[in-house]
């Protein structure tokens, strides 16, 4: 029974990675690094599933949005080997919504990004979902505002140089 659960987990992770674009894989790596760096626990987390992926291109760059479920592993953060970590069942499985905007260059650079990771029920709360949607819209619009430098009602603040 344990063999079939482990095999299924490995197969699921392999399927998740198979249909992703290079930018989606990059965002996935970055969100796992972000969560492991921010999480105060002593265990490493890895991706379990990608529940939704959106990728849109326009003249200002590429927008990538992922909904990712992470899973706690058997590896400790201080352990030198972190690549063959088994997922721990019935442990914490946070969900993350991440939005990234990349510039349109040959080697895309991150223009803007947004991460929201929390308990799996966290992303279902209406107020948080509305905030996430607004934040992701702002990330997607990053780089588009550079076409018009001044909008009526916009204020500019700058820090003066020392005299």
DSSP state of 125: S
Please state the rounded mean pLDDT for residues 11-21: 56
Please state the rounded mean pLDDT for residues 24-39: 92
Is the pTM of the predicted complex or chain greater than 0.75? no
Give the Cα separation of 92 and 73 in Å (integer).
Answer: 10
Place of tokens 């490493």: 44
pLDDT tens digit sequence for 49-108:
999 999 999 999 999 999 999 999 999 888 777 678 899 888 888 899 999 999 999 999
The continuous run of DSSP H or E covering 97 comes out as strand 95-102
CA 66 to each of CA 16, 59, 89, 111, 155: distance values in angstroms, whole numbers, following the listed order: 12, 21, 23, 17, 33
By the 8 A CB rule, do 43 and 58 touch? no
User: Which domains does the chain possess?
Assistant: 2-144 (3.10.450.10)
DSSP state of 123: G
Average pLDDT taken over every residue of the chain: 78
pLDDT tens digit sequence for 130-150:
888 899 999 999 877 554 444
Reference 102, options 58, 48, 145; nearest CA is: 58
The continuous run of DSSP H or E covering 103 comes out as none
């Amino acid at each position: 029974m344990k063999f079939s659960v482990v095999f299924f987990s490995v197969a699921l992770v392999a399927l998740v990675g198979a249909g992703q674009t290079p930018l989606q894989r990059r965002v996935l790596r970055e969100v796992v690094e972000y969560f492991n760096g921010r999480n105060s626990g002593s265990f490493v987390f890895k991706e379990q599933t990608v529940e939704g992926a959106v990728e849109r291109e326009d003249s200002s760059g590429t927008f990538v949005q992922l909904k990712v479920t992470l899973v706690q592993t058997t590896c400790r953060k201080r352990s030198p080997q972190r690549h063959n970590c088994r997922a721990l069942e019935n442990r914490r499985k946070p969900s993350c919504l991440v939005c990234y905007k990349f510039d349109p260059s040959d080697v895309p650079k991150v223009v803007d990004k947004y991460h929201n990771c929390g308990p799996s029920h966290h992303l279902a709360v209406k107020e948080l979902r509305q905030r996430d949607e607004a934040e992701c819209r702002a990330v997607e619009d990053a780089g588009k505002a550079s076409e018009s430098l001044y909008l009526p009602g916009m204020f500019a603040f700058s820090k003066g140089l020392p005299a």
